[in-house]
Amino acid sequence: MSEEILNDYLDENQKITDEVILGLKPLAFYTISNIDIIDFIHSQCQKVLEIAQQKNDSKEVARAVNLDTFEVLLPVFGEAHRVDIDYLVDQMKGTDYAFLVMHNHPSNSHFSEKDIKTFVDAVNMSILIVLGNNGAIYILEKTRDLLPNEIISARKTLLDWKKDFISYDTVIEQIKAFGIVHSEI
């Protein structure tokens, strides 16, 4: 098999099961306390996993939710280890609404460097959720707007991580200074 095909292949243990979708743990947020909103977001997380399972062979799928109107944008289908959340961010541009973006990771891993960079750069994205195909949940939340110099500092931190100068945990610790909260469920 070619390298491209291998990179888009998932093992059976990376596939989403019905048990994972139905048993997805309850969500908790730093910036949202309304239980009806949290339940709605939880149902949308289950929907992302369901769409990935049924329509994309458990590969990556992304969706966005407008947190003011609760409109859900159509899903974006990706590959085994990549989905273009920038497409959703482009749909948010020019609006004053806050958005939440969620997508799954078949590898069950935390945020990628690209995930965090897109989150930091996207003015309207207030929450980013990564769902592991095994049910792991990772959440980033902005508690305030980032200042231009904070965005530049965050990008430098991400570059240091990409070059293996610092660890993922160090990235998470450093971006906390910019009002970004990280949680794992």
pLDDT tens, position by position, 150-163: 999 999 999 999 99
pLDDT tens, position by position, 58-95: 999 999 999 999 999 999 999 999 999 999 999 988 88
Contact assessment for residue 107 and residue 130, using Cβ atoms and an 8 Å cutoff? no
- Label residue 1 by pLDDT band (50, 70, 90): very low
Q: For residue 81, what is the enclosing H or E element?
A: none
Q: Between residues 7 and 167, which one has the greater pLDDT?
A: 167
Residue 20 DSSP one-character state: H
| Average pLDDT over all residues of the chain | 94
What is the model's pLDDT at position 95?
86
Tokens of 51: 């769409």
The DSSP annotation for 82-100 comes to B--THHHHHHHTT----EE
In the block, residue with structure tokens 């690209």: 114
Q: For residue 45, what is the enclosing H or E element?
A: helix 35-55
